Amino acid sequence: MSRLRALMIYQFKLQIREYLNIFFIVAFPVLMYLFFSNMLEGELFYDGSFDAVYFLLPAYIPIVITNTIVLVFGQMLVSHKEHNFFIKYKLMGYKPVQVAGTLFVAVLIFQFIGIMALIVTAVITTGVTLPYNNLINVIIIILIINIFQFALAFFLSSVFNKSSIYQSVALIVFYIQMFLGGMALPPEMFPERIKTLAEIFNPIIHGLYVMRGVWISGKSIFEFPMEIILLLGVSIVLFLLGTKMFKWYDLQS
């Protein structure tokens, strides 16, 4: 266990040196929040019972998750394959799964920092009330979104073996999720046909629906059975496909 902890700390220190990643994980969502919260100040949402600014935070937290998992973790996983880092770590006594696990944990630490920075900014600048009474449901949906993004990143990293190609594809996937997933523009602004297509081909929009429901309306995740089943179902399919294609055995041979 101490060896794995040491490896995780090492991976975390390596990520601290990636200033561009830190910017997009921590600073970028905060800047987006400051910009759009000022634009939406005084605006109402839905039937006029909610301030529009309250919808920003539950939409931007999935952006942080998507960024850290798909763009950062997936990129590191492919880079480790491309440059034979897994083989090098194997000579030190680490299995590829262990190395990938420590990469993921290191990224999760940065994700937590990014989410906390976003929440602190929202509370200080707009006085947003946090859902303390529904915190368990909020944490559960955050975990489910993480599972989905991990499965997606793992699948993509099993398809592409060059970090340059993965980076381009992952960036496209990130923007599709952000803009057609309702995280940048509310789904209510979509034309009905686009909204239907997004709900069919872009599962993260269902994560957004749950996130908004538990964060703003204080609902339980059990009030969103279809959304949860869809997210977890797609995650399982992507993970199984990734496991079949990633060629762990080649790395361990």
Say what the pTM is: 0.92
Q: Is 186 helix (H, G, I), strand (E, B) or coil?
A: coil
Q: Which residues in 173-195 are b (16+ Cβ under 10 Å) and which e?
A: bbeebbebbbbeebbeebeeeeb
CB 145 within 8 A of CB 204: yes
Q: Determine what percent of the chain falls in helix, strand and coil, rounding each to the nearest 5.
A: 80, 0, 15
Quote the pLDDT of residue 48: 56
State the Cα–Cα distance between residues 59 and 248, nearest whole angstrom.
35
> How much is the pLDDT for 172?
96
Task: Give the pLDDT of residue 12.
Answer: 82
Tokens read off for 227: 């959304």
Kindly provide the residue ranges of all beta strands, DSSP E only, lying in the chain, ordered along the sequence.
44-45, 50-51
pLDDT value of residue 45: 65
Beta strands in 46-100 (DSSP E): 50-51
Amino acid letter at 168? S
Which residues in the chain land under pLDDT 50? 47, 249, 253
Indicate the burial class of 125 (C-beta count within 10 angstroms; 0-12, 13-18, 19 or more): middle
Residue 50 forms beta bridges with which residues? 45
Instruction: Please give the pLDDT value at position 92.
Output: 84
Using CA atoms, how far apart are residues 242 and 221, in angstroms rounded to an integer? 27
pLDDT at 154: 95
Dump pLDDT digits (tens) for 37-82: 888 777 766 545 667 788 899 999 999 999 999 999 999 999 988 8
Q: Report CA-CA distances (Å) from 136 to 60, 61, 215, 223.
A: 19, 16, 10, 14
Q: What confidence score (pLDDT) does residue 248 get?
A: 58
